[in-house]
Amino acid sequence: MALASLRTEFPVSGRYIYLDHAGVAPVSGRVRAAVERFIAESAGSGAFTYPEWAKQISETRSLAAQLLNAETSEIAFVRSTSHGLSLVAEGLPWNTGENVVVYEKEFPANLFPWLHLERKGVEARIVRARNGRVEIDDIASAIDEKTRLIALSSVQFTTGFRVDLEKLGGICRSKGVLLCVDAIQSLGLIPADVQRCCIDFLAADAHKWLMGPEGIGIFYCRKGLAEQLEPPLVGWKSVMNEFAFETPVFDLKTDAQRFEEGSLNLMGIIGLGAAIGLLLEAGIERIERRVLDLGDLIIQEADARNFSVLSPGDRRERGGIVTVAGTFDPVGVREGLRKKGIMVNTRAGGIRISPHFYNTEEEIRDCFRTIDQLTAERSC
């Protein structure tokens, strides 16, 4: 199946040029249909449909595991990336004097949970940026005998710099240090393999590259580690025999599902399943190649205008984000583009452009032609 044939799955493309999948992405028609079907079933049948919903939850968990090369027992559904990362930060039994290594330019969701550990006597050891890059050697140098965990995003949200997770994971495993990954800027775009990359924990919610509903996410916890995390939240679903309402026994589950403490976001999970199913149908490897090709075109268009490209040119070091800067005011240009029906964002003092596989080359060129018009108008 040609990727271009799936463009019709995205109604937004008939009205806008949408180039902000690193922000809040539009959902597909397939996701919309899945959510609408759930609402119709809930309205028309109530709990009579629950067995079918339970089946769909199980299917979505399997799809999420397939996406990560994980086992279904290692997958929990969470509200957000922040929720998943906080399960690790608050669940690990920290000792005073230990440290966690983090990158200074992380999105706050992957910074604040670790800074919050200062109250427990845990140091958040900050690795400084080097020309917008996250250098693995700098991270390795920050590790000492008191380092418990490395927390890092797979792709940086400002410039799109892609971390070599396989190399980093190998270092962490050899040193006995846990690796926790914020994968929201790569999952659904870049092939993920938690086993090959020696990832211990991973979190990502659905509203960016997965193009699913907001308010639902995936948390991966490597087999054998769940029991080392004390659940910050505990409820009726946290235990082994969750349906024994009248004879409850407090016996926590031993896998990732111990972190699903209460009634699940059925609508969000069903929508997420439709989103992942579409991406797997398209093929993550093909999606990655397509988006990197579009990124190359963005760089070409920026170079032709003598704009500064703040993102890596090397495809091996770049995710789906390309950030460009010039003599123009990025906020003013962003707002001008949005008024013209072109959705982009601003980061790192430039315009952040983040296409997905259904976008076209002509949309990229239209974006830059509109930037030309806006900058010409402002210079008059």
**The predicted structure's pLDDT at residue 131:** 81
Q: What is the pLDDT of residue 378?
A: 76
Give the mean model confidence (pLDDT) for residues 150-169.
97
Residue-range domains of the chain with CATH:
3-27+284-379 (3.90.1150.10), 30-281 (3.40.640.10)
pLDDT at 345: 98
Q: What is the mean pLDDT of residues 239-258?
A: 96
Beta carbons within 10 angstroms of residue 303's beta carbon:
13
371: β partners: none
Q: Which residues of 243-266 are buried (b: 16+ CB within 10 A; e: fewer)?
A: eeeeeeeeeebebbbbbbbeebbb
Element (H, E) at 323: strand 322-325
Mean pLDDT of 86-108: 97
Percent of the chain with pLDDT over 90: 96
Interval 265-291: pLDDT, tens: 999 999 999 999 999 999 999 999 999
Nearest partner of 306 among 375, 379, 366, judged by Cα:
375
Going by pLDDT thresholds of 50, 70 and 90, the confidence category of residue 2 is confident
List 153's β-bridge partners, or say none.
Answer: 182
Phi, psi of 267, rounded to the nearest 5 degrees: -60, -45
The mean pLDDT value for 43-51 works out to 97
| DSSP three-state, residue 116 | helix
Mean pLDDT throughout 259-265? Answer: 97
At residue 15, the pLDDT reads: 97
Counting Cα atoms < 13 Å in the Cβ hemisphere of 29 gives 10
pLDDT in tens, 293-310: 999 999 999 999 999 999
Written as six digits, the tokens of 258 are 């111990």
pLDDT category at 334 given cuts 50, 70, 90 is: very high
pLDDT of residue 380: 62
Percent of the chain exceeding pLDDT 70 equals 99
- pLDDT band of residue 1 (cuts 50, 70, 90) is low
* Segment 17-24 mean pLDDT: 98
Does 1 or 322 have the greater pLDDT score? 322
Residue from 374, 287, 294 nearest 330 by CA:
374
The three-state secondary structure class of 97 is coil
77 strand-pairing partners? 218
pLDDT reading at 178 higher than 90: yes
Taking the C-alpha atoms of residue 104 and residue 129, their distance in angstroms, rounded to an integer, is: 7
Distance CA 288, CA 188 (A): 9
pTM given for the model: 0.96
Task: Find the mean pLDDT for residues 9-36.
Answer: 98
The tens digit of pLDDT for each residue in 128-145 reads: 988 878 899 999 999 999
Residue 78 pLDDT more than 90? Answer: yes
Strand duo 147-153 + 99-103: pairing: parallel
Q: Which two tokens stand for residue 18?
A: 């949408």
- pLDDT for the residue numbered 199: 98
DSSP for 119-163 reads GGT-EEEEEPPBTTB--HHHHHHH--TTEEEEEEESB-TTT-BBP
